[in-house]
Structure 1
Amino acid sequence: MADDLVLENVTKQFGGVTAVDDLSLTVPEGSFFALLGASGCGKTTTLRMVAGLEELSSGTVRLGDRDITGLRPYKRPVNTVFQSYALFPHLTVEDNIAFGLKQRGVKDTKKKVAEMLELVQLPAFGKRKPAQLSGGQQQRIALARALVNEPKVLLLDEPLGALDLKLRRQMQIELKRIQTEVGTTFLHVTHDQEEAMWMADTVAVMTEGKIAQLGSPTDIYEFPSSPFVANFLGQSNLFAAEVSGTAGDDLLLSAHGGRFAAPSSRAHSADGRVWLGVRPEKVRLALPGEDAPAGHNQVHGVLTDTCYAGVSTEYLLKTPWGQEMSVFSANAAAGEPLQPGTEVVAHWYPPHSFVLARQSGEGDEVMRYSADPLGVAP
C-alpha cells in the first residue's frame, strides 16, 4: 500500500474556537503538496497535528495503512523544517546534520552527512558554525538535517518566510529540485500564493479551518470555485451578472446593461444570479476608435490609475456602473503607459471567462481577498 498521508475528519478546537473543522485530505506519496491560506485559517495547526505537536480533538491521521494519530512526535516517520531553522548554534554544520542520526544510535554518520551536503549544494561548509552562514545557507542545512533521517513526509512550515525576495525565488527552485531528487513527500504550509503555485503539484486553499478548493495550481487559478479562491489565488475581476440563456456551448449573461458570453464548461453555476469572472492578464485594452476583436466580451471605462511594474503595467479603470476593473498589460513594446483619464474599451476572449455561483445576500460588489493584508503582487 502506498504511503499516502491521509487525514480523516480531523478537527482541532482551542476552547470555543474551531481552528480546523472536520478536515479530510489525502497527500499522495512522493508529491509536493501545499496548504495555502491566510493567517488563522488552520493550515499551521493542521501541519502541527501531522507532526504530533498538537493533539487532535477528533479524527485520525494515517500514513499508508498505519494509524499515527496517537504516536509521540519522535516516533512518527515525519520531520519538520521551521521558518526559524532552529539550528544548534554551538555545533558545526556537520554535527547539526548528524544530530538526528546520533540520537537514533547511528555510529558512522560521515557518509550520510556528506551526501546531504552534496544534495543541498554546500559540500565545503561542513566545518562552519550556523552564524557563519547566510539565511539561505542555514535554510539548506535545516533541510539537510531533516532529510538525513529519511522521513516518509517532510513538513515545511513557512520555511522561506524570513528570506528576501530574490533569495526566496532561488530557494523555491532549490526546494523543488531537492524534492524531485529525493522523492520524499513534502507538505508545505505557506500564505504566499506565488510560492504555492511555483512549487506544488497540488494546492489546497484553506479558509476558516476547511478546504475551499483543492487541485493543481493551473486548475485552481484558471477555474476557481468561489469568489474567495478567485481573489485569494491571484486577482480576478468579478461582475454581478445573470444567466439569460445559452448559445451552443456558451452561457449568455447580462450584466449592468451589457451582454457577455462564457463557456458552459467553465461555469460553476448555469442559471440565475452569478459572478462573471476574468483574470486581469486575460484582458486587453483598445482606445476609442479601435475595434475590439469580433465576439469578444467588452466593457467601456476610463482609466483611473496606472502602475508601471517593469515586466507589466497594471491599469485600473472605472466602469460606467462605478466598479473598478484591473487589467495587466505586458510591456512588450516601447512607449509610455496609457495615462489616467484615457477612455478605453477592455475586452477579452469569452473562453477566458469563468462563472461562479452568487449566493443569496451577495450584492453587486464582491469582497477583495488577499494572502497578505498589505497586498500581494500578481
Structure 2
Amino acid sequence: MDLRLSGVTKRFGPFTAVDDLTLTVPSGSFFALLGASGCGKTTTLRMIAGLEEPTEGQVLLGDDDVTRLRPYRRPVNTVFQSYALFPHLNIEDNVAFGLRRRGIRKCTDQVEEMLHLVDLDGFGKRRPAQLSGGQQQRVALARALINRPQVLLLDEPLGALDLKLRRQMQVELKRIQTEVGITFVHVTHDQEEAMTMADTVAVMNAGKIEQLGAPVEMYDFPGTAFVANFLGQSNLLAASVTGRSGDDLLLDAYGSRYSVPALRARCEEGTVWLGVRPEKMHLSTGEVPSGHQSVTGIVTDSSYMGVSTQYLVRAPWGEELTVFSANSGVAPPLAVASEVTVFWRPDHAFLLPRPADQTHAPVVDPEEVAA
C-alpha cells in the first residue's frame, strides 16, 4: 500500500520545519528525501514513524490514517545512523529482539533468514563490538526487516561509515530492497547516495519539496537553480530570452548569442539562467567543433580528481566556470593561466527561471549540509 502525506505541517513554536507537505510514496519503491540540514527531511521521517505528531495534515498508509497512532502500532520500522544495537546481546538476539517483544519465542529460522539476507551468515554468536561499522549497519537492517514492516525508514544510515564502506552499503541496500520488495524511505544529505539507490528523489528546501522525480531526469533537467546546484554542480549564466527560431529559444548572455531547445526550458521568456553541467562542458586551445556554443576564458585553477580533472575558467564577465575533463590520456593537462575556449552542445544546456534582479547564481555548498 502507498504511503501518503496530505497537507502535513510541523511547527516548533514560531518555526515551521515542514510546510504543507503533500506526497505519495508508491508501495515497493525506494524513495529518497534529499536536502541540507534543517530542510525538514528528518522531521518528515519522524512524523511517518510516529516519533513526532504533525501540527496539521495526515499520514496515511493505504486508506488507513496513522497520524495519531503510537510508533509501535504502525507497520513501520526505522534504521538510525547510530545503529542502536544492544551491546550486551549477541547478533542473533539483537535481530530477534522485535519478535520476542511481540511474544514470538521460536524465531531461529527467521533470524537465520535475515542474517543470510544481509550476508552475515555465521555471525550470530558475535557481539556488536566484534563487528565492523558496515556489519553493524547490516545487523540493524536485519533487526528492522525481521518484523516485516510495510515501510522501512532509513535516517541517514550510512553517515557514520567511511567512503568505501558507504559505497558498498549503497549497493547492498538497493539489493536488499529489491529482494524484500517493501517500501524504503531514505533520508540523506548525500546526493550520490540518493541518486545511486533511489527510484525517486525528492529534494527538500525550507520545509517544502523543491523538485521530485527520477534521479536521471532531475539531474539532466533540474527544475530550479537550487536543485541545479544541490543535485551535483551547474554552471548558471545570467541570460535573457530574445526570441525563437523554430524549436530553439534565442538568448543573450553577457553580450553573446546562444540558443537552447525549447524542450530544455522551464520558462520561455524573460530573464533566465542558462545552465550547463561541468561534465557537459569541454575545453579547447584551438578550433571549436561546429554546432557547439562557447565562451573564452583563462584557466585559474586545476584540481586532479582521479577519473577527471576539475578546471576553473574565468569568463570575460568575471565569473568562474567549472569544467570536468575526463583523464582519458587523449589530451595533455592544461596549465593554470592558459587561454582556452569552453564549449558545449546546445541540447546539453537547460533554462531555468531567474529573478530579474539576480545576476549571480545562488551558491549551494555541499560541505555545509553535513554540518
Asked if the contact 1:301/1:345 (under 8 Å) is kept, the reply is: yes
Partner of 1:64: 62
1:104 is matched with 102
SS, match of residue 356 in structure 1: strand
Task: Give how far 1:271 is off.
Answer: 0.7
2:46 partner SS: helix
Identify unmatched segments of 5+ residues in structure 1.
Answer: none
Which digits, 9 at most, give the CA deviation of each residue in 1:346-378, with x for residues without a partner?
A: 00000000000012432x1112113322899xx
Aligned counterpart in structure 1 of residue 84 of structure 2, from 65, 86, 94: 86
Cα separation, 1, equivalents of 2:310 and 2:99: 52
Query: What stretches of structure 2 of length at least 5 have no aligned partner?
Result: none
TM-score (norm 1): 0.97
Shift of 1:246: 1.2
SS in structure 2 opposite 1:328? Answer: strand
Per the alignment, residue 138 of structure 1 pairs with 136
- The answer to whether the 8 A contact 1:298-1:346 is kept is yes
1:321 matched to 2:332? The reply is: no
- Pick the aligned partner of 2:363 from 365, 368, 377: 368
Query: Are the structure 2 counterparts of residues 158 and 52 from structure 1 closer, same or farther at C-alpha, using a change threshold of 3 Å?
Result: same
Within a 5 Å distance, the mapping from 1:1-378 to structure 2 comes to 3-287=1-285, 290-333=286-329, 336-362=332-358, 364-373=359-368
Q: CA deviation at 1:107?
A: 2.5
State the 1:108 CA deviation.
Answer: 1.1
Answer yes or no: is the 8 Å Cα contact 1:308–1:337 preserved in 2. Answer: no
Tell me the matched-pair count.
Answer: 371
Kindly indicate whether the alpha-carbon contact (under 8 Å) linking 2:35 and 2:369 is maintained by their aligned counterparts in 1.
no
Q: Is the 8 A contact 1:49 1:56 kept in 2?
A: yes
Distance 2:16 2:226 in 1: 20
What is the one-letter code of the residue matched to 2:171? I
Q: Deviations over 1:246-284 (max 9, x none)?
A: 111111111001111111001011011111000000001
Q: Distance in 1 between matches of 2:362 and 2:262?
A: 25
1:374–1:318 distance in 2 versus 1, CA, 3 Å: farther
Checking the alignment, whether the CA contact within 8 Å between 1:78 and 1:153 is kept in structure 2 is: yes
What is the CA–CA distance in structure 1 between the aligned matches of 2:188 and 2:158, rounded to whole Å?
A: 9
Deviations 1:286-345 (A, max 9, x none): 10xx21111211000000000011100000000001011000000001664211100000
Structure 1 stretches of at least 4 aligned residues deviating more than 3 Å after TM superposition: none
Cα distance in 1 for residues equivalent to 2:164 and 2:333: 26
Deviations 1:203-255 (A, max 9, x none): 00000000000000001100011110000000000000011111111111110
Asked whether the 8 Å contact 1:38–1:372 carries over to 2, the reply is no
Cα RMSD for the two superposed structures: 1.2
CA distance in 1, matches of 2:251, 2:7: 39
139-148 vs 366-375, greater mean Cα deviation:
366-375
Percent of counterpart pairs with the same letter?
65
Contact 1:236 1:280 in 2 (8 A): yes
Shift of 1:178: 0.2
Q: Name the CA distance, whole Å, in 2 between partners of 1:361 and 1:12.
A: 33
1:131-153 superposed Cα distances (whole Å, 9 cap, x missing partner): 11100000000000000000000
Conserved 8 A contact 2:82-2:157: yes
Q: Distance in 1 between matches of 2:269 and 2:48?
A: 41
- Mapped contact 1:37–1:371 kept (Cα < 8 A): no
Cα contact 1:191–1:372 (8 A) shared by 2:
no
What SS class does the counterpart of residue 260 from structure 1 fall into? strand
Q: Deviations over 1:149-169 (max 9, x none)?
A: 000000000000000000000
